[in-house]
Amino acid sequence: MSAYKQFNAQDLIVSPFEVNKGFYFVGGSVLVEPNVGINRFIGLNGNYLQSGSILTGTNLPVEEQLSSVLVYDSIKQLYYTNYLSGSAGFTSNAITSSIFLGANEAGNTVIGNVQQTNFYNYEQTTLWPNKTLPTASLGVLSIPSKLFGDYVQPNSFYIEHPKSGSIKDDGEGRLLWKGVSSPTYEYINGNIIYPHGIVILSDDTVSSFASTDVYGNNFDYGTSKYGGTIVLSFERFIDAFITSNEVTMSFSSSYKIFETQYQCTINENEFNYTLNPSAITGSQIPTKFSGSVINWENTASIGKPFDFVTGSYFEPYITTVGLYNGDFELLAIGKLAQPLQSSPTTDTTILVNIDR
């Protein structure tokens, strides 16, 4: 049994609600598993007609790998077009034309091209963007949207290699690097595009990287020095995080959902009578004799309320709220944590929240 009451427009409130979920992966082979799908690429600067057949894609089958040149060109076009001729990671200055004045306005001549930095490069900060595109190659980590949702949560990205240190974002789309033996993080030339799940590693060298490797221990001749230091070349620095399986990676996703709140208001003069059939007399099925025929009849529907129900002091308890559509079809049902006694003197509001 149930009682119905129509909602008004003011009884419904729709509010956005942001949820986050953290991910943690150990090992490069885990990144390409079907339920993960985090791909890593190396982009090479070059002519596609000459070197377009060079494919990239760590731990990916050949049919899923991409052209290294196209990876580089795509990153360049999407995120760095306004910074190609700039310096220190800032946008380049606009090139404007000049006017050579003639004898009259019709004789004025425009000299030079009008060139503006009008590309949209998905800026992640209004501060120093630190965007410097390398001229040789770059590393790209691509996180699928099924993991990061609407965007990667700022200050949540982290990747670590046991020999090359760790990289994290600073919350403004810039990357910080810390060596294995270094106590602090420092800025490197790299960026993260939060709404795209794209991480770009573009440092050409990392100097003064301390090494404790013994000469000849799992290293080629000339790669490391006993008790000295090594300088990671661009390719080796990228390889440590892009092609190596000895990586640990973590980040948090951000996804916006909408919460609909239904305000079920019970006025003081409403729902003050119980709907429980046990409050009606004759709730059992008695035997009724009609001549020589025995008939079974449910007399609950024609019974009378018990005396305690009809008293003025009686106040029923509310245990369940159901939401129905216009055709009285039950769409959602909610159970209260504990029975709520209806009040004959004040209005009562029950809030029902549904996330979608």
Cβ contacts of 266 within 8 Å, gap of 6 or more: 5, 318, 342, 347, 348, 349, 350
pLDDT at position 289, please? 53
Scored b (16 or more CB within 10 A) or e, 202-216 reads bbbebeebebebeee
pLDDT at position 5, please? 86
Length of the chain: 356
pLDDT at position 213, please? 47
Q: How many whole angstroms separate alpha carbon 299 and alpha carbon 285? A: 7
Quote the pTM value: 0.68
pLDDT at position 2, please? 58
pLDDT at position 316, please? 81
Q: How many whole angstroms separate alpha carbon 211 and alpha carbon 213? A: 6
Pair type for strands 109-111 and 137-142? unpaired
pLDDT at position 30, please? 94
pLDDT at position 96, please? 65
Task: Tell me the helix, strand and coil percentages in the chain, rounded to 5.
Answer: 15, 40, 45
Contact 16, 256 (CB under 8 A): yes
Tokens of 78: 């999407």
Per-position pLDDT tens, the chain of length 356: 457 888 888 889 999 988 999 999 999 999 999 999 999 999 999 999 988 899 999 999 999 999 999 999 999 999 999 888 888 888 877 666 677 777 788 777 777 665 556 788 999 999 999 998 888 889 999 999 999 999 999 999 999 999 889 999 999 999 999 988 889 999 988 999 999 999 999 865 544 444 444 444 444 444 444 444 444 444 467 888 999 999 999 999 999 999 899 999 888 888 777 777 777 766 554 455 555 555 555 554 556 777 777 666 677 888 889 999 888 888 889 899 998 888 888 888 999 988 87
pLDDT at position 317, please? 84
Supply φ then ψ for residue 272, to 5 degrees: -100, 15
Alpha carbon dihedral 75, 80, 85, 87, in 10-degree steps, equals -120
Contact 25, 246 (CB under 8 A): no
Which residue do the tokens 């004025």 mark? 108
Pair type for strands 248-266 and 287-290? unpaired
